[in-house]
Structure 1
Amino acid sequence: MLSVRDFWRRHRRKLFVTVGVLGSGYVLYKLYHAHQQRLSDLEREIEGERATDELIKAQLQAHFENIQRIADSTTLPYSIHYLQSRISEELDLSHLTARLSQGKGQPNTLTSLEKLQLWEKLKILSFTRMISSLWAMTMLSLYIRVQVNILGRHLYIDTARGLEGSHLLEQSDPFDRQSQQEFLATADYLSSYGMITLISDMQMAVSEVLKGKQLRDLFNTSLLHETIVLILDTFMSLGGPNHWVMYLMPENAIAYKYQMATSSSALLPDVTKLDQLMVETRSVLLSDDFRNVVNISLRTVVDALMDDFALQSGGNPSIGTPLAKLLPRVAQMGPFLLEEPGGNKFIQIIRRLPEVELFYTLLYANMPPPEMSQEADRSFN
C-alpha cells in the first residue's frame, strides 16, 4: 500500500501528463475522423450534383437538338412552300414577258415607248422578286428558329417542374395547346399578312437604286453584288430601325386575334399564354444581337448567291452582261432561293453560321448573347 502511494507521489506529474496527452490524442483523432467523414460526405454530395448536372446538360442538349430538327423538318418546309407560292402569285412576271414576246414576234403591236415601259417594269419586278425572296427566306428561317427555341425552352421547364408539358401539343391542357398552335401558326404571318407591304416597300427600294441603271449597262458579279447590297440597305432603312419586324409578326396577340377573327370568324377564348410567347419573340427580334445575326445572314446569303452568278458567268467575276440579258437570270433566282429547306443550300448556310448557332444556343438557355462583332453593322441597318 505504501509502495503504491510512493509510486503515485513520485510519478503523479508524469501520469497526469500521459493521461492528458492520450486524452488530447483521442480527441484529435475523433475530430480528424469526423472531419474526414464530412469531407467524404461532401465529396459524395458534389459527385452526385455533378452527375445530376451532367444528366441535365445531356437532356438539355438532346432537347435543344430535337427542337432544331423540328424547325428544319416540320415548321420550315411548310412555311417556305407557302412563302414561295405567295411570292410567285404577287410577283408573277409572265404577263410582262408574254407581252414583250408578242411585241418581238409582231413588231407593230407595241410602240417603242410601250416596249421601254414594259422593260422598265420587268427590270424593277425581277429585282424585287429576287431580293424579296432572299430577304423573306432568310428572315423566315431565322424567325421560325426563334419561335421553336422559345417554345422549346418553355416546354422543357414545364417538364422539369413535373407539369408534363414536354409533348408538344399533346399532353398540355387545352388552353396551352391552343396557344402553342396559334404561336407556331404565326410563322405564316409574313406570307399571309406581311407580304403585300413587304413587296411594296422592296419595290420602292429597288426603284430608288435602279433608277439610274440602263438596260444596256454592263453588270458583272461585283456590280450586281453592290447593287443588291445597296437595295437591301435602302430597304432596311425604310420606316426607321426594326420596322421590318411588322412584316414577320403582329404587334401583339390581340392584334393577331383580331386578324385571325376577320378571316375565320372565330375568336380565341384567351390570349394570355400566346401574348407571353409573342412578347418574348418580339423582344428577341428587336434586340441588337438578333439584328447582328440578321445582318451576318443576309450578307452571307448575298455572297453565296454571287458565287452562283460567277459560276454561271464562266467563273470570271469581271465578265459583264447587259442588264437586259441579266434580268431572266435575276428573276429565276427567286424560286431557287425558296427551294425546299432540305435541298436549299442557302438555308443550310445560314443554319451553319457560327454566329447563328451561338445565338440560338444562348436563346434556348435563356442567356444574354455575348457582344458580337461590330462588322455586322456595316450594312443592312
Structure 2
Amino acid sequence: MSFISSGWQWIKRHKGKLMVASGVVGGFVVLNRYLSAVERNWENSSVKDFVSEVRKKEMHFDNTIQTCNTTVINLTPRALSVLDNLLNCETLLDKLKSSASSEEKLLLWEELKIRIITRITSEIYSLSLFVCFSRIQLSLIAGYLYVDCCKNGTTPGIINKNIQMYYLSLLETFFTQGIQKLIQPIQESVIQAVGSISLKERIELTNLKEMFDKIKANMNFFMNSPDFKISQYLVTTSNHARLNDPPATSTPNGQTSPTPEASSSSASSTSSNSTFSSSSTIPIHNLSAKDMAIIQNMLIETEDLLESEDFKKVINSTIDVGYSIMMDLLVGCFLRIDSDPGIETNNGFKNPHTQSVPFAKLLPPLNNTLKERGKSSDEALSLVRHLLCTDVINCFSANVYESFSGDSVQKS
C-alpha cells in the first residue's frame, strides 16, 4: 500500500509536467499521422501526374506514328514514280525491237541488264531511307510540339505552322535530288557485281542471291566510308543557305515585302494536300529571323541524328528487310518464267531453286514484274508496310521523340 500511496503522491506533485508531456506526445502522434497522410497524398498525386503524363505522351506518340505511316503510304507511289522515271527500261526495250545491228542489240542488252538490277536495288535503298527519314522528321517535330502543348498557353510555342511545313518539306529534297544522287553509287555497285556476268550464262535463284549479296557488300563498303554522310540525301547545303538569306523588310504600311527570289518562289508554288509539301510553298519571307534560327537548329539536330551510330544500325536493319522482301519477289518471278523443266512433283509444282535460265531471258520478266507491282497498290506497298512494322525503326523513333519531349515538365 505504501508503494501505491507514494506513487499517487508523485503523480499529484508532477501533475502539470505529466499533462504537458502527454500533450507533447499526443501532438507528436497526431502531427506524425497528419504528415504521413500528406506524404501519401503527395505521392499518390505525383504518381497520378506521372502516369497521366506518360499516357498523354504515349497517345501523342501513337498518333504521330499513325500520321507518319499514313503519309509514307500515300507518298510511296511518288517515290516509285521517281525511280521509274530515272531508270526507265521501256525506252531500251523499244530500241531493242527496232535495232537491226547485233552489236547494237548486245550493247542495249548489257545496258538493260544493269538498269533493271539497279532499279530493283534502288527501290530497296530509296524506300528504306524514305521510311527512316519520315519517321525521324515527324518524331523530332512531335517532340517539339509536345513541349509546346505542355506550356498550357503560358508562353508562346516554339514551333509554329510555317516552321512545321518548312521542316517537313525537307523530304522534297529527297524526292528531287536525294534519290537521283543515291542511284549513282548503286549503279556503280551493280556494274561491279553484275557487269562481268554473260547474258548467255544460266542463272539460278542462288546465283541471283549471290549477285545481290555482292551489290549489298559494295554498298556497305560505300556507306561505311569515312567521307560518306547519309544526311546528304535529305538535308543539303542549299537548305542551310536558303535560311541564311537576309530576312524580308517591311513596307511603310506594315506589310512584309518579299525579296524577288521569295516572290518568284511564292508565285510558282502549288498547293499540296500532302504533309510533306515542297519548300517552295513556304515563301522564305513568311519566316521571321527567329523562325529561321529554329529551323537551322532543327536541321543541325536532324543531321546529328542521321549521322549517329544508332541510325546506322537502323538503316542497315531496314536494308536487310528490303533485300529479304525483294528475294521473295524474285522467287515469284522465277516461278512465272517458262524455263527448262526443273524438278517437278506429282502435282506439277516447280521448285524455283532448281530452275535455271539464261540471264538475258530473266531480264524481261523482272521488268514486267516491276511494272505489275506498280499497278497493284498492295504489291507496290509490300516493302514499305514491312519497313513500317520493323521494331528497330519504332524503337529509334520512340527514342527520338523522348529525347525532344522528355524535359517537357521542366520546360513548361
- TM-score over 0.5 for the alignment? yes
In structure 2, distance between residues paired with 1:333 and 1:172: 49
Which residue of structure 2 lines up, in the alignment, with residue 246 of structure 1? 232
- The yes-or-no answer on 1:278 pairing with 2:262 is no
Equivalent residue of 2:222, what SS?
coil
Which residue of structure 2 lines up, in the alignment, with residue 347 of structure 1? 384
Q: Which runs of 5+ in 2 are unaligned?
A: 246-260, 267-282, 336-350, 406-412
Which residue of structure 2 lines up, in the alignment, with residue 268 of structure 1? 284
Which residue of structure 1 lines up, in the alignment, with residue 167 of structure 2? 183
Pick aligned residue for 2:399 from 362, 367, 375: 362
Change (3 A) 1:124 1:27: same
Which residue of structure 1 lines up, in the alignment, with residue 359 of structure 2? 323
- The yes-or-no answer on 1:73 pairing with 2:67 is no
**Residue correspondence of structure 1 range 192-341 to structure 2 within 5 A:** 192-238=176-222, 240-241=225-226, 242-251=228-237, 253-255=239-241, 257=243, 265=265, 268-269=284-285, 270=289, 271-314=292-335, 316-332=352-368, 334=370, 336=373
In structure 2, distance between residues paired with 1:159 and 1:301: 37
Change (3 A) 1:208 1:9: closer
- The yes-or-no answer on 1:123 pairing with 2:119 is no
In structure 2, distance between residues paired with 1:132 and 1:358: 25
> Deviation at 1:362?
1.4
- Deviations along 1:25-83, whole A, 9 cap, x unmatched? 44222212211111111111111111111211111111111111211223x24532332
Change (3 A) 1:274 1:79: farther
In structure 1, distance between residues paired with 2:57 and 2:327: 38
Which residue of structure 2 lines up, in the alignment, with residue 159 of structure 1? 149
Pick aligned residue for 1:38 from 27, 35, 38: 35
Q: Is the CA contact (8 Å cut-off) linking 2:199 and 2:358 kept in structure 1?
A: yes
Instruction: State percent identity of aligned pairs.
Output: 18
In structure 1, distance between residues paired with 2:74 and 2:5: 101
In structure 1, distance between residues paired with 2:130 and 2:40: 49
Q: Is the CA contact (8 Å cut-off) linking 2:126 and 2:179 kept in structure 1?
A: no
Change (3 A) 1:316 1:82: closer
> Deviation at 1:17?
6.1
Change (3 A) 1:89 1:343: closer
> Deviation at 1:155?
0.7
- The yes-or-no answer on 1:145 pairing with 2:135 is yes
> Deviation at 1:303?
1.0
Q: Is the CA contact (8 Å cut-off) linking 1:301 and 1:346 kept in structure 2?
A: yes
Which residue of structure 2 lines up, in the alignment, with residue 373 of structure 1? none
> Deviation at 1:14?
4.2
* Matched AA of 1:202: I
Equivalent residue of 1:313, what SS?
helix
Segment of structure 1 superposing worse, 292-301 or 312-321: 312-321
Q: Is the CA contact (8 Å cut-off) linking 2:262 and 2:284 kept in structure 1?
A: no
Q: Which runs of 5+ in 1 are unaligned?
A: 1-6, 104-108, 166-170, 369-381
> Deviation at 1:290?
0.8
> Deviation at 1:145?
0.8
- Deviations along 1:318-368, whole A, 9 cap, x unmatched? 433322122234335656489758971211211212222211111111189
Which residue of structure 1 lines up, in the alignment, with residue 12 of structure 2? 15
* Matched AA of 1:70: T
Change (3 A) 1:340 1:217: same
Q: Is the CA contact (8 Å cut-off) linking 1:217 and 1:323 kept in structure 2?
A: yes
In structure 1, distance between residues paired with 2:374 and 2:208: 16
TM-score calculated relative to the size of structure 2: 0.75
Change (3 A) 1:19 1:226: farther
* Matched AA of 1:319: Q
Q: Is the CA contact (8 Å cut-off) linking 1:218 and 1:320 kept in structure 2?
A: yes
* Matched AA of 2:30: H
Change (3 A) 1:256 1:340: farther
In structure 2, distance between residues paired with 1:356 and 1:338: 28
> Deviation at 1:16?
4.5
* Matched AA of 2:25: L
In structure 2, distance between residues paired with 1:10 and 1:125: 110
Change (3 A) 1:128 1:312: closer
**Residue correspondence of structure 1 range 61-140 to structure 2 within 5 A:** 61-74=58-71, 76-103=72-99, 109-110=100-101, 112-140=102-130
In structure 2, distance between residues paired with 1:98 and 1:202: 25
> Deviation at 1:20?
5.1
Segment of structure 1 superposing worse, 133-142 or 214-223: 214-223
* Matched AA of 1:99: K
- Deviations along 1:233-257, whole A, 9 cap, x unmatched? 3234337344333123214742355
Q: RMSD between aligned alpha carbons?
A: 3.3
Change (3 A) 1:253 1:176: farther
> Deviation at 1:125?
0.7
Equivalent residue of 1:237, what SS?
helix
* Matched AA of 2:359: L
* Matched AA of 1:246: Q
In structure 2, distance between residues paired with 1:263 and 1:135: 36
> Deviation at 1:224?
2.1
Change (3 A) 1:256 1:193: farther
- Alignment length, in residue pairs? 348
